[in-house]
Structure 1
Amino acid sequence: MTTFVNRAGTGAAVTTFALFFTRVVGLEPTQVGLVLSVAAAVGLVGQFPIGHLGDVRGPRELFRSLTVVCGVVLLGLLVVRSVWGLMLVMGAAQLLQSGAGAVRNGYIARIAVGGQGVAFKAYLRAVTNVAMSLGAALGGIALWIDQTWAYLGVFAVDGLSTIAAGLLVSRLPHLDPAPPRGEGEPLFAVLRDPPFVAVTVLCGLVAMHFVVMEVGIPLWISEHTTAPTSMVAVLLILNTVVVALFQVRLSRGADDVVTSARAMLVGCVWIAAGFALIALSDGVTRWVAVAALVAGAAVHVVGEMRSSAGQWGITMGLAPMEHQGQYQGFASMGFSLSNVIAPTLITWLCIEWGWPGWLVLGGLVLACGVALVPVTRWALATRERYGALSASG
């Protein structure tokens, strides 16, 4: 319920944010883009230390506080009208949201053990997609009305729903904070864990495929195919609906680190195949292009769901229980960093280069999936060593 309430408001706000601050407030699109980039950078650096704070302060209580305060900050969108004010509000909100996400992931990893964490994360992702879709529909109504009061109503819903979600966190079970650090124990144990750092880098590179739906597909359809631009919406809906229906089912079997690594490799194979099908939409007739795009998106989303399950199982399974917040926050940094790198790389490979770029991008994702199998074995073999390191320094 907490996730549904929170993400529904987010879906509505995301749909209307850019248009309100450009068309109604009068900011330049480049200014809005700068605001979002700065906010993303602030959120990136906050995930790791705030996740650690959840370990030492108690994850439920910190998760609740961060979420409630984030809702209050988001209400600032009702009054802010300058680029600097907007940057302050969005930077603070992104810091709080990213930190709350890291703490939440650490909480899930501690409370859902024995392979249940992957199933729980899959369920939350399905709920998130449904909530975001309903929120986007609400945002669409505001866009249709196209009045200031409608946009402000959406921002109010987003802020208030976030506050409500934070209050609902109180219903979750309490978890005790991690034991105090021993003498000589490092503050951030994950930075002394090279195998986990390597896993995070590889998982972050695989996660670049998420940006394809946001950046690669719209530009590819408009510049390289004869398919109608409305296919962008069709493929996005396809992705959202399929994840909502099948994420839980396709996450089964990723019960430990070894099976999760295999699941991620299988997911990367599907992703690479999906990119190859999308490449076939270049230079063909309208309906062949549409068929190739739908087939590619359908294959890609299977890989998305399977690789997501694998990534959850790997990062939760490798992290010491007393440092789950810190480790999950660090793992989230890899995902966030991919969002910084991927737009430029995807534009260069797939849009500037053309169809061969899709094959190269798919090959890169597949290579990371292959590398994750031996890297996770290395990480498993060193758990005792780095677990002892985190306890003794």
Structure 2
Amino acid sequence: MRRLLPEPGPARVLTLATLVRTVGRGTWLAASALFLTRSVGLSVGQVGLGLSVFALVGLVASTPMGYLADRHGPRRIQIVALLAGSGMTALLTTVRSFPAFLAVGIGTALASAAYRGAQGAVIAGAIPAEQRVRTRAYLRATTNVGISVGAALAGIGIAVDTRASFVALILVNAVSELAAAAILTRLAPIPPVPAPATGPRLVALRDRPFLAFTVLDGLMSMHFGLLNIALPLWIAQHTSAPRWLISVLLLVNTTMVVLFQVRASRGTEQITGAARASRRAGLAIAAACALFAASGSVPTSVAIALLVAGALAHVIGELWHSAAGWGISFGLAPAHAHGQYQGAYAMGMELGGMVAPVVVTTLAVAWGAPGWLVLGVMFVGLGLLVPPVVRWAARTRTLEPEAEAVGVA
């Protein structure tokens, strides 16, 4: 247990709040599609369009919301975002039409963008610089646990399959956000950081080397779509492996992240070490693509072995990629703008999530083995580009002294 929890203090408070919030989030993620189509009566096309709109709203709002966290205090903004998100989640129970779904979903997307931007600034304000990446690693491991537990709980409501059961799952999510907000009040207030007297307000959007890194990192994040989208279709359509292997590989991924994300973050506290981890991540993910490509048109036992090996290579790359992104995004942010820089960093992840379904299904599923190899070359290239971009970024800035981290209230 000690291995899975940070030491008592702000990091443990953040971990507990994350666990509570993501359990609720897991219930909604597992049940949302069924609730919206079966209970609300929306078409699959309407749900897909709505999700695309919400992703775009989150993309556009990420940096401005991070700016608000910097100017008004990140703990305050994060708590307000959780309260707003809870209210919006509860309003889902009243949705009966597509316009209402859009309105509530856009409000939820804005609250989520504020939460993400504020979370990075909270970590920067509450955690010493040398422990921030490690804290992020704990939060990611905790997120995987919370989502898994929430999805398992959602299975009860899905099995009952009534509107009342779906409403109960939504309210669990709403209450979880309220509880997470209450937990965050245990953190000492983090004072707002005054903006510089001169220069643009949204400096992150003027920082060309940081934006270049954000794009590279966002495109690298398309690898999440390999496991969640491309690989299940590849196994079902192009290999002789049993379909139950899909669930096994997803379980392997979740377990590896929970057990090893903190360890994988070692050495990424400085931007040079983080850049090297990003390069390693590209190579590991490329190896996974090659193993997946080789799993087609071979005997079942060989296909299973290749797919398992590929999944292990992929999760190793995933662990390095996540840790590298945190180290670089914290390391390049000015002390007065952690919120907006974390918001800009999240834009890259949103971008990757938007383009991944089309890219990975076209290359890996439609093109087959050659497409997997093209993806592998792409991930190698992205990983190799990160170190020179980080060196460019380092040459363009003078690192500011960090304020002393606050503790627990």
Residues of 1 paired with 2:169 and 2:156: CA distance?
Answer: 10
TM-score, normalization by structure 1: 0.95
For 2:199, what is the secondary structure of its paired residue? coil
Q: Which of structure 1's runs of 4+ aligned residues deviate more than 3 A?
A: none
- Structure 2: distance between partners of 1:54 and 1:229: 45
SS in structure 1 of the partner of residue 398 of structure 2 = helix
Q: Does structure 1 residue 80 correspond to structure 2 residue 95?
A: yes
The aligned counterpart of 1:94 is 109
- Superposed CA RMSD: 1.6
Are 2:370 and 1:356 equivalent residues in the alignment? yes
Matches of 2:297 and 2:122, distance apart in 1 = 49
* Equivalent residue letter for 2:93: L
Query: Match for 1:140 among 143, 149, 155?
Result: 155
Tell me the CA shift for residue 230 of structure 1: 2.2
**Preserved contact between residue 68 and residue 167 of structure 1 (Cα < 8 Å):** no
79 and 170 in structure 1: CA distance in 2 versus 1, 3 angstrom threshold: same
User: Quick one: which amino acid aligns to residue 343 of structure 1?
Assistant: P
The AA in structure 2 aligned to 1:248 is: V
Q: Which of 283, 292, 304 is equivalent to 2:297?
A: 283
Supply the distance in 2 between the matched residues of 1:139 and 1:356 (Cα, whole angstroms). 38
Separation in 2, partners of 1:180, 1:301: 39
Change (3 A) 1:145 1:385: closer
Q: Deviations over 1:291-337 (max 9, x none)?
A: 21111111100110011111110110011011000111011101101
Q: 1:212 aligns with which of 226, 244, 252?
A: 226
Aligned to 1:245: 259
Matches of 1:235 and 1:342 in 2, distance apart? 19
Give the structure 2 partner of residue 336 of structure 1.
350
- One-letter identity of the residue aligned with 1:301: V
Spell out, residue by residue over 1:62-88, the C-alpha distance to the aligned partner (whole angstroms, 9 max, x if none).
111011111011001212121221121
Q: Is the 8 A contact 1:16 1:151 kept in 2?
A: yes
Contact 2:195/2:201 (<8 A) preserved:
no
Give the corresponding residue for 2:6.
none
- 2:49 is aligned with 1:34: yes
Shift of the alpha carbon at 1:386? 11
**Aligned match of 1:305:** 319
Name the aligned partner's letter for residue 367 of structure 1: G
2:196 to 173, 176, 181: 181
Contact 1:42 1:94 in 2 (8 A): yes
Matched with 1:202 is 216
2:177 to 162, 173, 177: 162
Structure 1 regions of 5+ residues with no counterpart? 388-393
* CA distance in 1 between partners of 2:105 and 2:176 (Å): 17
Q: Once the 2 structures are TM-superposed, how far is the Cα of residue 287 of structure 1 from its aligned partner?
A: 2.5
- Report what 1:391 is aligned to: none
**2:77 maps to what in 1?**
62
CA offset at residue 355 of structure 1? 0.9
Instruction: Kindly provide the amino acid, as one letter, of the partner of residue 161 in structure 2.
Output: D
The one of 201, 207, 230 aligned to 1:193 = 207
Deviates more, 1:307-316 or 1:163-172: 163-172
Q: Partners of 2:139 and 2:178 in 1: how far apart?
A: 19
CA distance in 2, matches of 1:96, 1:149: 26
Contact 2:270 2:328 in 1 (8 A): yes
Q: Which moved more, 1:227-236 or 1:5-14?
A: 227-236
Q: Secondary structure at the match of 1:115?
A: helix
Shift of 1:167: 2.2
Q: Is the 8 A contact 2:134 2:262 kept in 1?
A: yes
> 2:129 is paired with a residue of what secondary structure?
coil
CA distance in 2 between partners of 1:232 and 1:148 (Å): 30
State the distance in 1 between where 2:265 and 2:76 align: 29
Alpha-carbon distance in structure 2 between the residues aligned to 1:190 and 1:337: 16
Overall identity of the aligned pairs, in % = 42
- What is the alpha-carbon distance in structure 2 between the residues aligned to residue 261 and residue 115 of structure 1? 16
Match of 2:286 in 1: 272
Q: Which residue of 2 aligns with 1:107?
A: 122
CA drift of 1:110 comes to 3.3
In 2: Cα distance, 1:93 partner to 1:159 partner:
11
Decide which moves more: 105-114 or 357-366: 105-114
Whole-Å separation in 1 of the counterparts to 2:272 and 2:62: 26
Residue in 1 aligned with 2:9? none
Equivalent residues of 1:193, 1:386 under 8 A apart = no
Q: Which of the two has greater helix per residue? A: 1
Q: Distance in 1 between matches of 2:124 and 2:358?
A: 33
Q: Matched residues in 2 for 1:365 and 1:99: separation?
A: 30
Q: Deviations over 1:130-165 (max 9, x none)?
A: 111100100112122222221111101001111211
Q: Which residue number corresponds to residue 373 of structure 1? A: 387
Question: What SS does the aligned partner of 2:269 have?
Answer: coil
Aligned: 1:117 with 2:117: no
* CA distance in structure 2 between the aligned counterparts of 1:144 and 1:117, rounded to whole angstroms: 41
Unpaired segments of 5 or more residues in structure 2? 1-15, 402-409
Q: How many residues get paired?
A: 386
Relative distance call for 1:378 and 1:113 in structure 2 (3 A) is farther
What CA distance in whole angstroms lies between the structure 1 residues aligned with 2:30 and 2:247?
13
Q: Secondary structure, in 3 states, of the residue corresponding to 1:187?
A: coil
CA gap of 1:166–1:386, structure 2 versus 1, over 3 A, is closer
Query: Which residue identity lines up with residue 222 of structure 2 in the other structure?
Result: M
SS of the residue corresponding to residue 383 of structure 1 reads coil
The amino acid across from 1:265 in the alignment is R
With normalisation by structure 2, the TM-score equals 0.91
C-alpha distance in 2 between matches for 1:43 and 1:322: 22
CA contact (8 A) 1:277 1:296 kept: yes
Give the structure 2 partner of residue 390 of structure 1: none
